[in-house]
A and B are shown apart, each in its own frame.
Chain A
Amino acid sequence: MWQRLMRIDRRWIFLAIGLVVASPFIFGWSLPLGRPSPPTKALFDFIEKLPPRSAVMIAFDYGPASMPELQPMAVALARHVLSRNLRLIGISLYPQGTSLCQQAFMKAASEYGAKEGVDWVNLGYRPGYQSVVLGMGTDLTKVYRADHKGTPISELPVMNGIRNYDDIALVIDLASGATPGMWIAYAGARFHQTLAAGITAVMATDYYPYLQSGQLIGLINGLKGAAEYEVLINKRDLAALGMTSQSIAHLTIILFVILGNIGYFATRSQQRPMGGGQRAR
């Protein structure tokens, strides 16, 4: 039986994972979410303590390929910021980030009656990575002269009094690449800007050291972190919904790993030649 199991076509595994992930959406299953992790809670608490009309900047440094993990974070953060009567500024160092920012902000703004240009703004994409991050430390209005629709910064009430990082309480980098490191090196170290990050789970282990060193005040890790943030703001959405699938799929994978290992050791002992085998030769 084990030998047959070890020769199983991998497509059966794909099918099993697909069914397991889809099942909660088909049958409406729901598992409870655990307590939010300290890095997510730290970011939530920081935003909670900001005085009204403080400016929070979210950098959309990802494309559609990372949407399932990062877009729920963006929506949850935008909801939190706007519900607290803070000013919300979106920028992007990735070309595709502009439209993702607009989607997230519009969704959150429609729920809280927040007005574009007054409570929130999408400044759009600027090419140049480091030059954009460094430039905003000196004079943001020279890097972004207008929002993504072409409205001059001077005509946007939301940007009143915002000249550089001194006027921005927090920058959150939602990233699928190496941009958090760049924000830390340029905006954090050079301009002492308070930073947090929302990252894909693949990157998580790379960025926990920055949390420990205090260079990031909070960190949202993948879909799990997004679900935690949705729970914290008491607005469960796609991330919380997806976590049931995530949990069941993880259990299934653990089961497969255990079965695979049992099968490996069982078939290895059956295949071992009598009398020492190759070593005796």
Chain B
Amino acid sequence: MPAEAASAAHSLPPLVDLIGIWLAAFLTLAIYSFLYGDNPVYKFAEHIFVGVSAGYFVVIAYHEAIINDLIKPLFRPQEVGLERPAYSLIIAGVLGLMILARFIPRYDWLSRWPLAFLFGLGAGVSIPANIHGIVIPQLRETIRPLLVPGDWWTAFSNVLLAGGLICTLFYFFFSVEHKGALRYVARTGMFFLMVGFGAGFGNTVMARLSLLIGRIEFLRYEWWPTVVELFHRLVG
């Protein structure tokens, strides 16, 4: 990338790309201006971001879902490789239209049917899949031998895993008062939780810095060369 940037310093990208790069640079700096304090430039950039994101999503969803999954299979089946119209989609289309009844107070009860269908379908699909694919495999993975002859490190890891799991679960067990020896079990659970939160927070710091690094890389290797080149051309 630095090499590409160096070569880019001697030539400007096409005008459309150049405008895009400058717009992106302006919006980046506008968003970061919030760190100094709330200001109209930041608000402007924020509103543009929200508006463009929503607009982009609506256009893509309309094209991919409504046109490709409903209109074409029903009215232009050959375009999507079907021999005859998929009439069953009429049910889905009607259910989809019923959701829009929420905007008409007199008929807003109609929207409950497609929502009930969605919730029922979602729960029916996801509950067994999550129990089978997430909960059970993860539970199974916590059941490990505590004594591994010849491999004391694995044995230690397994004891730590089992101990951490039991203590952490006990921390959230409120039917017994946490006093006496049980207090230490709960406190150990809290210690494991704190280690987990610490790891999570450390990763979060790394992630947020990565976003800043990404923007600085953009400014340094895509925007700055155009600034230098434009300056040279203007000055001569």
Residues of chain B within 8 A (CB-CB) of A190 are 129, 132-133
Q: Which residues of B contact A221 (CB under 8 A)?
A: 203
Q: Does A269 contact B (CB under 8 A)?
A: no
Shortest A143–chain B CB gap in Å is: 10
Return chain A residues, CB-CB under 8 Å to B205.
250, 253
Q: Which of A125, A146, A200, A201 makes the CB contact (< 8 A) with B60? A: A125
| With contact pairs A181-B134, A213-B137, A213-B138 given, residues A145 and B199 touching in the complex (Cβ less than 8 Å) | no
B35 touches A (CB below 8 Å): yes
**Residue pair B213, A242 in contact (C-beta under 8 Å):** yes
Distance of A83 Cα from B152 Cα, bound (Å): 41
Could you tell me if B216 and A22 are in contact, using CB atoms closer than 8 angstroms? yes
Contact A69-B207, Cβ < 8 Å, known A127-B61, A134-B125: yes
Q: How far is the CB of B61 from chain A (nearest CB, A)?
A: 6
Establish whether residues B217 and A25, one from each chain, have CB atoms under 8 Å apart when the complex forms: yes
Asked if B56 contacts A21 (CB within 8 A), the reply is no
Tell me the bound Cα distance from A257 to B147 in angstroms: 40
A189 CB contacts on chain B under 8 angstroms? 129, 132-134, 137
Stretch at the interface among A41-49, A160-168, A204-212, A260-268: A204-212
**Residues in A neighbouring B80, C-beta threshold 8 A:** 145-146
Cβ contact within 8 Å between B134 and A242 = no
Instruction: Flag if B211 contacts A202 (CB, 8 Å).
Output: no
Question: Does any Cβ of B come within 8 Å of A185's Cβ?
Answer: yes
Q: For the complex, is B36 an interface residue (Cβ under 8 Å from A)?
A: yes
Q: Let me know if A68 is at the binding interface, CB within 8 A.
A: yes
| Cα–Cα distance between A213 and B107 once the two chains are bound (Å) | 50
Residues of A within 8 A of B140 (CB): 213
Q: Say yes or no: B220 contacts A250, CB within 8 Å.
A: no
* Chain A residue nearest to B140 in the complex (CB): A213
The residue that B133 contacts in the complex, of A125, A188, A245, with Cβ under 8 A, is: A188
Are B35 and A11 interface neighbours, CB within 8 A? yes
Is residue B209 within 8 Å, beta carbon to beta carbon, of the partner chain? yes
Query: Residue B141 contacts which of A17, A68, A185, A213 (CB distance < 8 angstroms)?
Result: A213
Indicate if the CB atoms of B129 and A186 lie closer than 8 Å: yes
Taking the closest CB of chain A, its distance from the CB of B228, in whole angstroms, is 13
CB atoms of B1 and A205 under 8 A apart: no
**What is the minimal beta-carbon distance from A176 to any residue of chain B, in angstroms?**
10
Q: Does B11 contact A (CB under 8 A)?
A: no
Provide the A56-73 mask, 1 if CB < 8 A to any CB of B, else 0: 000000000101110000
B20 at the binding interface (Cβ < 8 Å):
no
- The yes or no answer to A117 lying at the interface (CB within 8 A) is no
B215 nearest CB neighbor, chain A only: A68
Q: Which residues of B contact A126 (CB under 8 A)?
A: 64
- Nearest chain-B residue to A127 (Cβ)? B65
The answer for the CA separation of A146 and B215 in the assembled complex, in Å, is 34
- B69 CB-CB contact with A under 8 Å: yes
Is A184 an interface position by the 8 A CB rule?
yes
Q: Is the CB of A242 within 8 A of B210?
A: yes
Binary interface profile of A, 222-249, with partner B (CB < 8 Å = 1, else 0)? 1110000000000001100110011001
Question: Is there contact, CB below 8 Å, between A241 and B1?
Answer: yes
Report the bound CA distance from A212 to B64 in whole Å. Answer: 37
- Are A246 and B141 in contact, with the CB atoms below 8 A? no
Given contacts A188-B133, A201-B203, A202-B204, contact A246 B213 (CB under 8 A): yes
Contacting pair B1 A204 (CB below 8 A) = no
A127 CA / B196 CA spacing, docked (Å): 34
Set of chain A residues within 8 Å of B56, measured between Cβ atoms: 95-96
Residue pairs across A and B with Cβ atoms less than 8 A apart, 28 shown, are A11-B35, A17-B209, A21-B209, A21-B212, A22-B220, A25-B216, A25-B221, A68-B211, A95-B56, A95-B64, A130-B129, A146-B80, A185-B129, A185-B132, A185-B133, A186-B133, A189-B134, A201-B203, A202-B204, A204-B203, A213-B137, A213-B138, A221-B203, A222-B206, A223-B207, A245-B209, A245-B213, A246-B206
Query: Contact residues of B with A, CB < 8 Å?
Result: 1-2, 35-36, 56-57, 60-61, 64-65, 69, 80-81, 122, 125-126, 129-130, 132-134, 137-138, 140-141, 196, 199-200, 203-207, 209-217, 220-221
